[in-house]
Amino acid sequence: MKTFQFINKQSHKEFKALPDQIQKRFANDLNAIAQNKAPFSKFKHLTDSVGTGAIELIENGRPAYRTIYVAKFGDTVYILHSFTKTTNGVDRKAMDTAKRRYKAMLKEIEK
């Protein structure tokens, strides 16, 4: 069975900063993913903007919320970044953060 873990302390802090209802929804999604099931929330693949296997969980509304994870490595689902989406279109800063953490995750996996 897969587990999920945060790539660093900051990614855990970001997840905990999401509203309780959103945290619960995304945690349910991540648990489903860890059991090789599809998430309940809408999602989008971010292979081109973040890296292979990166997926964004989507909760639309005002404001909208996102959590970016990677589910492809061993038995672990890595949570890279969680944030409140405030722009229409791509949030470049958030994608850059996810991309940096994706690279850090690859280094961690190589060890």
Give the CATH number for residue 38: 3.30.2310
For the segment 30-47, what is each residue's pLDDT rounded down to a tens digit? Answer: 988 888 889 999 999 999
Distance from C-alpha of 55 to C-alpha of 42, rounded to nearest angstrom: 10
- Structural domain containing residue 62: 3-110
Q: What percent of the chain has pLDDT over 70?
A: 95
- Of the candidates 13, 1, 35, the residue with the CA atom closest to the CA atom of residue 79: 13
Give the predicted TM-score (pTM) of the model: 0.90
Domain count, the chain: 1
Average pLDDT, the chain: 90
